[in-house]
């Protein structure tokens, strides 16, 4: 589980770092696009993955500690805020990286574990791959 979390974290950081130039190139001239590290996009991916994986979970804002918000509604609100930020041209936050991270989190929730199982089967020794395909646990 820790290995899968590490892989997912590295992949989300890379994906969100590259999502800004990829998405912004369609909206702005290339000389206006600033570089991005992708760390906040990785956090967005983790938050969206958590909201999709645990739909009954709730979050609280630091300035409203007693008010609980369903996590899916909170992530939806953050994504809407970032969409507005992209459309309005706000530059305080890296809205493209946030949206790329949220998209990666949703894609990882849908296909991530199956992708890693597929990679393990493709790259593993034949005797290990046979056990993975049959559902046996590796010792």
pLDDT one-digit tens code per residue, 43-52? 898 899 999 9
Q: Is 95 a catalytic residue?
A: no
Q: Is 40 a catalytic residue?
A: yes
pLDDT at 34: 59
**Domain-by-domain residue ranges, the chain?**
2-134
Report residue 30 as tokens.
């290339």
CB of 64 within 8 A of CB of 58?
Answer: no
How confident is the model over 20-72, as pLDDT tens digits? 666 666 555 554 555 666 688 888 988 999 999 999 999 998 888 889 999 99
Least confident of 61-70, 93-102, 118-127: 118-127
Choose, from 9, 36, 40, 60, the residue flagged as catalytic.
40
The overall pTM is greater than 0.85? no
Q: C-alpha 75: how far from its chain's center?
A: 12
Choose, from 19, 48, 95, 98, the residue flagged as catalytic.
98
Report whether pLDDT(2) > 60: no
């Amino acid at each position: 589980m820790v290995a899968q979390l590490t892989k997912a974290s590295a992949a989300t950081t890379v994906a969100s770092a590259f999502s800004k130039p990829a998405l912004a190139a369609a909206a702005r001239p290339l000389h206006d696009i600033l570089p991005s590290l992708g760390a906040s996009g990785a956090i967005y991916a983790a938050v969206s993955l958590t909201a999709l994986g645990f739909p009954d979970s709730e979050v609280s804002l630091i300035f409203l500690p007693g008010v609980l918000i369903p996590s899916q509604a909170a992530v939806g609100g953050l994504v809407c805020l970032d969409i507005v930020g992209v459309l309005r041209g706000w530059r305080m936050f890296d809205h493209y990286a946030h949206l790329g991270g949220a998209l990666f989190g949703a894609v990882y929730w849908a296909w991530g574990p199956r992708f890693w199982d597929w990679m393990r089967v493709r790259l593993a020794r034949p005797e290990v791959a046979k056990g993975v395909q049959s559902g046996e646990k590796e010792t």
